[in-house]
Amino acid sequence: MGKGDMRTRRGKINRGTNGKTRPKKTKVKSAEKVVPEAAVQASE
């Protein structure tokens, strides 16, 4: 169980991969842009 073991966190850090034991950090989704009704009607 060390740097060569792909199932451990340390092994994944060494290889630079992600997975079950070392998941990727997910980006926080920003709130959807609010479009004014006037802009929606003008585009139609």
Distance CA 15, CA 33 (A): 39
Give me the residue label for tokens 């004014």.
36
Q: What is the largest CA-CA distance in the chain?
A: 63
Q: Per-residue confidence of the chain (44 residues) as pLDDT tens digits? A: 788 888 899 999 999 999 888 889 888 777 777 666 766 565 55
> pTM here?
0.49
